[in-house]
Amino acid sequence: MVFWWILPLALVLAFALTAVLRRYAVNRSMIDIPNDRSSHTVPMPRGGGVSIVISFFISLVCLWVGGWGGMPFFLGAAGCGVIVAVIGFMDDHGHIAARWRLLGHFIAAIWGVVWIGGLAPLNLFGSLVNLSWVGSALAVLYLVWMLNLYNFMDGIDGIASIEAICVCIGVSVLYWLSGHGTLIWGPALLAMAVLGFLYWNFPPAKIFMGDAGSGFLGVTLGVLSLQAAWVNPEFLWAWLILLGVFIVDATFTLLRRLLQGAKVYQAHRSHAYQYASRRCGSHMPVTLGVAAINVFWLFPLAFCVTSYGMNGMLGVLLAYTPLLWLAITFQAGEAEEVTVKR
């Protein structure tokens, strides 16, 4: 059965739903008001990322009903993503204490890991290593970190959308070149849903993604990467390479702030991409820069891992080294002057 018609369906649904959600956000006063910790200067409606959640879920149901994908993957991906999105949606409408959000995130991550079978054996130093229950625990931590880092990195116009589209299209191409075309549907559908939203979120944005959308994207990308590892262990390394911009910036910033004794759960704007946007005086160059890094640096390395036998750990090391240099250059995690305006 041919499913290609579902791709434009996801795009159109996300586009139309974002327009509806923008009006809803305005009517319900779901507005981000700029403050000293903001990277924007004008009030902006938020919560538009719910369109991505709904569009992807509906499209995934269509695929599943049509015979694509098994019940475990569907329940794992859909269930995990919906739990995270609901928590984010409630937080967008009011406020949920950090400890309860984190508890919900762990429940969602455990749900996803259980249904996809835990962490697949890893290719370490040329040998497949099965980490058993330790691997499952690491997979849960990985999903929780992915959804939170995506929330952290959704701070300027279009960056979270561009990252998701580049990563999803990148892995889809790698799947196709590797002869695993059936894996394409998950990331391809997600890319189309995000593309429909990007029209409204591209600099200068007309609506923000919100916690519901960013958390959903992070955890869904994580689940898709864990699923792919069961098909080919090298695919997990490819995913980690393609997600490098967000992983390096968010992780380095968090570690630096922890070493400084900062309250990491408080809002800040000390990520490398935030400092870069202030230096540029605009969000556009940074967002497009992230796309360029993905296309011209990270994708070729991921391709070498999946198609030319490059060691996955070496590929990650090569990918992350210049990204770490960029994070240091742009002062990621350094104490900021809150009076500085973009």
Task: Give the residue among 175, 154, 127 at the shortest CA–CA distance from 46.
Answer: 154
Task: Establish if 173 belongs to a structural domain.
Answer: yes
Tell me: pLDDT of 272 over 90.
yes
Q: Which phi-psi region, left, alpha or beta, contains residue 204 (left: φ > 0; alpha: ψ -120 to 50)? A: beta
Sequence ranges of the binding site: 151, 211
For 193-209, what is the mean pLDDT? 94
pLDDT at 338: 44
Neighbours of 153 (CB within 10 A): 25
Question: Binning pLDDT at 50, 70 and 90, where does residue 337 land?
Answer: low
The contacts of residue 305 (CB under 8 Å, 6+ apart) are 234, 237, 238, 241, 311, 312, 315
Most confident of 41-55, 228-242, 252-266, 322-336: 228-242
pLDDT at 8: 93
Instruction: Answer with the residue of higher pLDDT: 222 or 33.
Output: 222
Measured in degrees and rounded to the nearest 5, phi and psi for residue 61 equal -60, -45
Tell me: the pLDDT tens digits for 159-182?
999 999 999 999 999 999 999 988
Sequence ranges of the binding site for Mg(2+): 151, 211
For 3-11, what is the mean pLDDT? 88
Instruction: Answer with the residue of higher pLDDT: 197 or 77.
Output: 197
Question: Binning pLDDT at 50, 70 and 90, where does residue 29 land?
Answer: confident
Task: Establish if 184 belongs to a structural domain.
Answer: yes
Task: Establish if 132 belongs to a structural domain.
Answer: no
pLDDT at 93: 77
Question: Binning pLDDT at 50, 70 and 90, where does residue 72 land?
Answer: confident
Task: Establish if 335 belongs to a structural domain.
Answer: no
Question: Binning pLDDT at 50, 70 and 90, where does residue 328 land?
Answer: very high
Tell me: pLDDT of 323 over 50.
yes
For 67-93, what is the mean pLDDT? 85
Most confident of 58-62, 64-68, 94-98: 58-62
Please, are residues 202 and 282 in contact by the beta-carbon 8 Å criterion? no
Instruction: Answer with the residue of higher pLDDT: 41 or 56.
Output: 56
Query: Which of these ranges, 1-5, 136-140, 238-242, has the smallest mean pLDDT?
Result: 1-5
Mean pLDDT of the chain: 90
pLDDT at 342: 33
Task: Establish if 103 belongs to a structural domain.
Answer: no
Number of domains in the chain: 1
Task: Establish if 125 belongs to a structural domain.
Answer: no
For 58-65, what is the mean pLDDT? 86
Task: Please give the Cα distance from 212 to 216 (Å, whole number).
Answer: 6
Tell me: pLDDT of 20 over 90.
yes
Instruction: Answer with the residue of higher pLDDT: 103 or 338.
Output: 103
pLDDT at 41: 65
pTM, full prediction: 0.93
Task: Establish if 83 belongs to a structural domain.
Answer: no
Q: Which domain holds residue 240?
A: 6-30+41-74+155-214+232-329
Task: Give the residue among 150, 155, 236 at the shortest CA–CA distance from 203.
Answer: 155
Tell me: pLDDT of 265 over 80.
no
Task: Establish if 309 belongs to a structural domain.
Answer: yes
Report whether the peptide linkage leading into residue 121 is cis, meaning its omega lies within 30 degrees of zero. Answer: no
Tell me: pLDDT of 1 over 70.
no
Task: Please give the Cα distance from 23 to 30 (Å, whole number).
Answer: 10
Tell me: pLDDT of 329 over 80.
yes
pLDDT at 69: 65
Distance, C-alpha 113 to centroid of its chain: 17
For 216-244, what is the mean pLDDT? 96
